[in-house]
Amino acid sequence: MINEDAVFYSRVLTELTLSFHIIYATIGVGVPLMIMIAQWVGIKKNDEHYILLARRWARGFVITVAVGVVTGTAIGLQLSLLWPNFMELAGNVIALPLFMETFAFFFEAIFLGIYLYTWDRFKDQRKHMLFLVPVALGAAFSAVFITIVNAFMNAPQGFELVNGELVNVNPISAMFNPAMPTKVAHVVSSAFMTAAFILASIAAFRIIRGSSHIYHKKALYLTMKIGLVFSIATALIGDFSGKYLAEYQPEKLAAAEWHFETAERAPLVLFGILEGEETKYGISIPYALSILAHNSPYAEVTGLDQFPADEIPPLYIHYLFNIMVAVGMWMTLLALVYWIGVKRKWKIVKQNWFNWLIVFGGPLSIIAIETGWWFAEVGRQPWILRGYMRTVEAATSSNQVDLMLILFSCLYLILGIGSVVVLQRMFKSNPVEHELEEREAENQGVET
In this prediction the pTM is 0.88
Q: How many Cβ atoms from other residues are within 10 Å of residue 214's Cβ?
A: 11
Report if residue 440 sits inside a domain: yes
Report if residue 341 sits inside a domain: no
Report if residue 249 sits inside a domain: no
Range of the domain at 25: 1-179+399-448
Give the pLDDT confidence score for residue 304 in this predicted structure: 87
φ and ψ of 161, to 5 deg = -110, 105
Report if residue 135 sits inside a domain: yes
Mean pLDDT of 327-332: 91
Report if residue 33 sits inside a domain: yes
**What value does the mean pLDDT of the chain take?**
84
Report if residue 436 sits inside a domain: yes
Residue 329 has pLDDT above 80, yes or no: yes
What band does 446 get if pLDDT is binned at 50, 70 and 90?
very low
Report if residue 12 sits inside a domain: yes
Number of domains in the chain: 1
- 12 vs 9, 78, 181, CA distance in Å? 5, 12, 29
Span 337-351, pLDDT tens digits: 999 888 888 888 788
Give the pLDDT confidence score for residue 367 in this predicted structure: 92
Span 142-182, pLDDT tens digits: 888 888 988 988 888 888 877 767 778 888 888 898 988 99
- Sorted by sequence, the CB contacts under 8 Å of residue 106 that are 6+ apart come out as 138
Report if residue 150 sits inside a domain: yes
Q: Mind giving me the DSSP string for 353-406? A: HHHHHHHHHHHHHHHHHHHHHHHHHHTTTTEEETTTEEHHHHS---S-HHHHHH
